[in-house]
Chains A and B, each alone.
Chain A
Amino acid sequence: MEKRVFFKGWMLPAMLVAPQLIISFIFFFYPSGQAIWNSLFLPDPFGLKTEFVGLDNFRFLLSDPYYLASFKTTIFFSTAVSVSSMAIGLYLAALADRLIKGAGVYQTLLIWPYAIAPAIAGVLWLFMFNGNIGLASYYLKALGYEWNHTLKGDQAMFLVILASSWGRISYNFLFFLAGLQAIPKSIIEAAAIDGASFWKRFGTIVIPLLSPITFFLLVVNIVYAFFDTFGVIHTITSGGPEQSTTILVYKVFSDGFVSQDLGSSAAQSVILLVLVGILTVIQFKYIERKVHY
């Protein structure tokens, strides 16, 4: 869609887009180009010179068991975070949608955790599960279950998934609620008159009508789990124990800044860049479709 009426001249519009273009070039295109360029080089151990190695950094990464393990960890982690926060969000939204009065109050009570930084969410859950003083670990111990997420990888993974999903419920709840409220009540009523039970209606009408929003949320939540959960991981586990919670973005950080392995870190950035690029394209295909119908 284009405007038919517009202003003349090109100096003024050039000046108007200049600030955004300049900032994008300095802080986006140049660093991204730098990441791609660096991924083709290998610095010597003393950082004195770098040697062109072509795609060797990628070849090394894709055969590095630690990197492949981190890939698997990321897929498991992001699937778990997306599915659990979407399931709870949909459950609460479906309940709130049933109410004629009071849905607004519940909305207020449920959406504010969106404002809590992932790093702070990490601190809250870390405090609850702290081995010495945490309330949750205290009662788990009383029940005879030994909790120590600093030593046990599966417990650490559970805790970072819990903290990441908790903060994400509000986002999913809000989108599902908006989606549910957009479904015309007449369709639901027609089905009810035909004798369809609540679950029958939910499965055959509501779920299919929600599928575009569900798909959109899935993509957005995966992107969230890939990147925004860095704060949760850094505060709770720092990627440990034994790398069991090192997701890809955490590995870029720890290899690049902690271990100073710049070639490998750059190659990892490029792989992430490609992954996000694919997700973005998928999402825009979806938005285009939404506009057409």
Chain B
Amino acid sequence: MVEKKKSGYWLTHFGLILGVLFIFFPVWLTFVASTVTQDAIIQPPLPIIPGGEFFENYANALFRGAPEGYGARVPVMQMMINSAIMAIGITVGKIVISLLSAFAFVYFRFPFRNLCFWLIFITLMLPVEVRIVPTYEVVANLNLLNSYTGLIFPLIASATATFLFRQFFMTIPDEMVEAARMDGCSPMRFFFDILVPISKTNIAALFVILFIFGWNQYLWPLLMTTDPDMQTIVMAIDSMIPTGDDFAHWPTIMATAMLAMVPPVIIVVSMQKFFVKGLLESDK
């Protein structure tokens, strides 16, 4: 047994609590700012205890936008719906096409299999930011600007999920497919009745990672949505921040920032086990 000293034990906790405070502090301040009046914010210092305007500010942010006289009044409810559609579209799209192609790579021998594999392999890790200008042109030429399809599809083109499923399928014993074939099971039946059910934890793990990836997209929606009804909450917050000395209704902005954080944080915390698995195994 490694020696344990009482003082060391408390120092360990002290160090960790310091870290936790550093992580929480900016978010706490944001929360406080979203519960006070505009006056409390523009006369620094900001209090560090929440005020009583919680419902007022969040109702404003969600349904009405900032009060009269503070620039554009944009309610964020529609933006949250857009973000959710984009995040879920990316998540489901990636998982479906990856399951299918990983199934083909592992359980079939077909012409150009290696070529196809390498073509998909190359898409790994090259983020959309690198090819942003031509991708924008492609989407514009397809008339997909300001559409959910245009928001979702360019971000599906990556191979991380395919590799994760391929690796997992490799570990499934050959006896499984032998038994299925002996019983006269067709390939698609094997896929739906055996492969997908035993991939459940992997699918859940990828769901968490990809949902966060999708929800937090910033540059792509910023470029391709000009229609206010198509904006996502993460990209829209940038346009609310005042440049220079413009007037801004800070409680509404901070409530919007909280609303942008809450859905992905809830998913990470409530599905923590899958999140940790997904993060450690997908390596990205």
Contact = CB atoms under 8 A, between A and B. Distances in A.
Interface of A: 1, 3-7, 9-10, 12-14, 16-17, 19-21, 23-24, 26-32, 34-35, 38, 88, 91-92, 95-96, 98-99, 102, 106-121, 123-128, 132-135, 138-139, 166, 169-171, 174-175, 178, 185, 188-189, 192, 216, 220, 223, 227-228, 230-231, 234-235, 249, 252-253, 256-257, 262, 265-266, 269, 272-273, 276-277, 279-280, 283, 287
B187 A12 contact: yes
5 contacts: A9-B110, A133-B42, A188-B2, A252-B130, A269-B132
Nearest to A231: B218
Contact of B280 (A29, A96, A175, A253): A175
A166 to B, nearest CB: 7
Contacts of B16: 92, 95-96, 99, 106
Contacts, number: 304
Contacts of B204: none
A106 B20 contact: yes
Nearest to A114: B268
Contacts of A111: 268, 272, 275-276
Interface stretch (B24-32, B53-61, B63-71): B24-32
A25 B245 CA distance: 46
Contacts of A31: 131, 134-135, 137-138
Given A6-B177, A115-B267, A138-B45, A16 B100 contact: yes
Interface in B42-96: 42, 44-46, 96
B127 to A, nearest CB: 5
Contacts of B260: 117, 120
A114 B154 CA distance: 23
B272 to A, nearest CB: 6
Contacts of A189: 1-2
Contacts of B23: 109-110, 113, 166, 169-170
Contact of A109 (B20, B29, B111, B254): B20
A19 B97 contact: yes
Query: Secondary structure of the B side of the interface?
Result: helix
Interface of B: 1-3, 8, 12-13, 15-16, 19-20, 22-24, 26-27, 29-30, 33, 41-42, 44-46, 96-98, 100-101, 103-111, 113, 116, 119-120, 123-127, 129-138, 153-154, 156-159, 162, 170, 174, 177-178, 181, 187-188, 190, 212, 215-216, 218-219, 222-223, 234-235, 237-238, 241, 245, 250, 253-254, 257, 260-261, 264-265, 267-269, 272, 275-276, 279-280, 283-284
A124 B29 contact: yes
B44 A17 contact: no
Contacts of B104: 12-14, 16-17
Contact of A257 (B133, B178, B181, B261): B133
A287 B283 contact: yes
Given A3-B106, A35-B134, 18 more contacts: A13-B108, A16-B104, A19-B97, A27-B135, A32-B130, A35-B131, A114-B212, A114-B279, A115-B261, A117-B234, A117-B264, A132-B245, A188-B2, A231-B216, A235-B237, A252-B130, A257-B223, A273-B126
B138 A27 contact: yes
B267 A252 contact: no
Contacts of A6: 106-109, 177
A119 B159 CA distance: 25
Which 3 residue pairs spanning A and B have beta carbons closest together? A117-B216, A34-B134, A31-B134
Contacts of B234: 117, 119-120, 231
B139 to A, nearest CB: 8
Contacts of B223: 257
B108 A9 contact: yes
Nearest to A272: B130
B132 A252 contact: yes
A188 B254 CA distance: 47
Given A124-B29, A223-B125, A276-B127, A17 B116 contact: yes
Nearest to B130: A272
A96 B126 CA distance: 34
B109 to A, nearest CB: 6
A186 B103 CA distance: 41
A117 B215 contact: yes
Contacts of A116: 27, 216, 261, 264-265
